[in-house]
Amino acid sequence: MFAQKYTYTNINQRVAIMKINEGSIDRTLRVIVGLALIAMVFVGPQTIWGWVGVVPLITGAIGICPLYSVLGINTCPISQKNSA
């Protein structure tokens, strides 16, 4: 259902570079929070700190959170098997 990024080591083998580790609720909340923070740049206090919203927007859009990977957190309900 979700695309994964792969690197090909030979013609018959592929290794996942980054696995999706965000569930649908997590992704939706990240996109909403990201858009709200970015909107603050144009409306409201109009500070540069609103651009911090780009981080949750991008991680919510692609479904991969690097911090989750480091901490070993996975909110994605679909079990992903490593094909090596």
- Domain extent listing, the chain: 22-78
Residues 22 and 17: their CA atoms lie apart, in Å, by 16
pTM, whole model, 2 decimals? Answer: 0.71
Would you say 57 and 30 are in contact if contact means Cβ atoms under 8 Å apart? yes
Digit-by-digit pLDDT tens for the chain (84 residues) are 455 555 555 555 565 678 899 999 999 999 999 999 999 999 988 888 899 999 999 999 999 999 999 999 999 987 655 544
Residues 38 and 3: their CA atoms lie apart, in Å, by 26
Q: What integer pLDDT is reported at residue 84 of this predicted model?
A: 44
Q: What integer pLDDT is reported at residue 14 of this predicted model?
A: 61
Q: What integer pLDDT is reported at residue 7 of this predicted model?
A: 52
Q: What integer pLDDT is reported at residue 48 of this predicted model?
A: 86
Residues 21 and 69: their CA atoms lie apart, in Å, by 7
